[in-house]
Structure 1
Amino acid sequence: MRWNEHIFEQLNNGHILLFNKIKSGDEKYNMLVETDYLGRVYRQFSFDKTLGGSYARTAGLSLVHHDVAEVPNGNWLLTIDDGSKYVEDTIAELNPNTGKIVKVIDFKKIFPESMYKKSKIKANDNTSSGLGLMDWLPINTIDYDAKTGNILLSARNQDIIWSMNYQTKKINWVFTSKPTKEWPSSFHKHLLKPSKGTKYPGGQHGVYLLKETGSKLDILLYDNNIAVTNGDKKQSGNFSAATEYQIDTKKKTIKQVWSYGKNLGKQNFTEVIGYAQRLKNGNTLINFGFKNKGKESNIIEVDAHGNQVFNLTITNSAKDMTYVYLAYRMQFYPDNYVFDVTK
C-alpha cells in the first residue's frame, strides 16, 4: 500500500482498489491495482501517459485522481485527466476484465464553454509546472446510484455539486451559488433553489447519496467552506463542516437538514481535503484532513445531536504530504466474502 494516492475503494468482491506508483522513485502515480489485505495482486493497470498518443502534455501527472465508483456490471468509473490543458474534468469507465476504456465523459462538453475558458485557476501539481495546465473544475467525487443510473459529482474549484444520468448525460439538477443570469437559459430549469438558512458549499468534497424517497434525495458532503470561484464569500474560511441536504427533485429545491463543524470555528477550517461518512448507527464520521494548514488531520465522530463520541488528531508531515485524505469506518470484508489463503 506504499506510495498510494487518493484511491482506496473496497470492491463488492472484498478486494480493494488502489492507485499507486510502479516504483517508489517514479514521478507520477500511474498504476491502478486490485489487491486484498494480504497484498495479493489480482489485476493491475498502468496508464499510458499519452492516453493513446494525443495527450503528451500531461506527462508526469497522476492520470487517475480523487475517486472511483464501481457500477453494477462490475466496471469502474474513474475520475481522470483527459490530456488537454484542462485537468481533472473527465470521467472514464474501465472494464477491468479487458482493460479497455468503454466510455468517456468530458465535462468541457457538458458545462458552458465560458466556465473553463475564462477560468484563471492553474493546476497545482509539482510535476506539471511549466506546462500551463488549468484546473477550472476538478472533479473530486463520483457516486453512482444503481437504482436510477444517475451519478452525483462534486467539483471543488467551481463550488458546485450536480446530478446527471450516466447513460444519457442529461443533467438532473445543479447546486451552486453561481447566479442564474450567468448560466445559459438551458441550465435554468436545473438550478436548485435553497430554502432560508441553507448554505452554499465551497470547495466541497465527498458528496454522496444517503437515501431516496420518491422525489426527495438526502445527500451528505464535506463543506470545506472556501469560496474558490463561487461559494459563500461571507462565511468563507470561518469553519468547515459535514452537511446533510434534502433535495426535492420535482420542485428543484434544496434545504439544509443537518450540519456539524461550524461550532469548531477557524480551528477546524480546512481549505482542501475532507470527508464525511454517515455510519450505520446514525453517527457521522468527519475528517478535517487539512487542519492547521495541513499540519494536522482531525477525525471526529458525532451523533445526530452533535455530541462527540470519538476525536483523533494525527500529526502530519508537510514534507511527505501525509495528510489524511479520507477516513472511514468500514467492515473489513463484505458478509459474502470467503477467505481462502490459497487463492
Structure 2
Amino acid sequence: MSASGNTPVAPGGPLYPEGMTFPTLPERLKHVCAAAVLMPHGSPRLIESQSNDTWALDDARLGPVVLRVCWRGDVSRMARETAVLQQLPDTVRRPEVVGHGDLIVHGHPLSYSLTRRLTGRSLAEAWPGLTTAERRAAIRQTASVLRELHGWVPPAALADVVRARPGLAAGTVDDLVGADIAPLPVSRAVRLAEHVARMPYVDTGLMAAAVRLLWTLGDPEPTVDAPGRSGLVHGDLNLSNLWWAPDGTVSLLDFEWTRIAAPSLDLMRMCEYADDAVGGAGTYPSVLRMLEEEYPELFRTEGIARHVRLYVLAYSVRSLAIAPPDGPAASLPPGHALHRVRRIVAGRWPAPGALPDPLVAPV
C-alpha cells in the first residue's frame, strides 16, 4: 500500500472548517462495518497505508477480506477503482471485489471497498528473499499483466466513470491534490507549483523555474483523460502494489489512482524510487531493467524520457503541496521532494545509473 495519497494541509488554515469534527479511525471502521453489514471475527488488523484506512479482517459472511476506507482527497476514486476491478479482463490479475459503498459520517463523505484477501505478501516484502529466477519470473508476469491492462479498451461508460473528477469543480488546491497522484494536464501541476512557491522555506525562483520546465516538458503534452487515444494505466505502480502469491503468481493491487493515460505514466513511481539509489544499485534500478527486457515497447515510445521527467516533476510538486518543507533546504532529508525538484530543474535528475538508458534524456 503505497504512501501516495496523503491529505494536504493548506497554508494559512486547517483543511476542515472550524468546529467540524472529523471521524476518528475507530469511528470510521465502526460506521463502515455497520454500512457494509460486516461481522468480523476477532479484531481487524490495520495494514500500513498512507492513502486509506486498510484493514485485514475475517468476516462471518464473506470470509477473509481486505477493507479499505477512503476518507482523504477525492473519495469518489474508490468507486472508480471498483468499477475498473469489476470489468477488467481476467488476464489482468487482481483481487475480487465483494462489496463497496459510500456513506457520510459527521458530515464527511467516506467510501469503502471490500476485496477477497489474497494469500502471500507484497512483492516489496517478498523481494529480498526471492532468488534471481523468482525475481525475473515476477517481473515477467508484471510485464504481461501491464501489457494486457494497457492494451485493453474500456467500454465507453466505464471510460466516463474513470475520467470523472467531481472534486475538481471547486478548483481548490486540496481538490487538485486529491484528484490524481500525477497532477496532469500540466496546468494542474503549474497551479500547484504556484501555490508551493508561497510556502515558507521555498525558493520562489526555483518554483518559477519549475513552472517553466513543466510547460517545456509538456510541449507537446502527453495525453491524459482521452479515451480512444490512450487506455487505462494503474497509476501508482510500484512493488508495494504488486502481490506475490505462494505459488509465484503476481497480481495488481490498489487501482484507486487508475486513469486513462499513456502507458509510460506507469513508470513514474518506479523511476522516483530508482532515483534514490546510489550508482544504480538497489531494487528499483534492477526492477526497471528487468521490466525493460520483458516489456521493451513500453520503453521505446516516442518522447519517453521527456515524459518520465515531466511525470516525476509534477508528482514531486504535488508532494511539496502535501508535505511542504519545515525548514531550510539544507536541513531537509536527502529524499525530500524539494531536493528532487531542484535536481530536475538543474538537469541533475535522475541519479547516474538509476534508470535504463531510454528513460534518460540528454541534458
TM-score, L = length of structure 2: 0.29
Higher strand share: 1
Higher helix share: 2
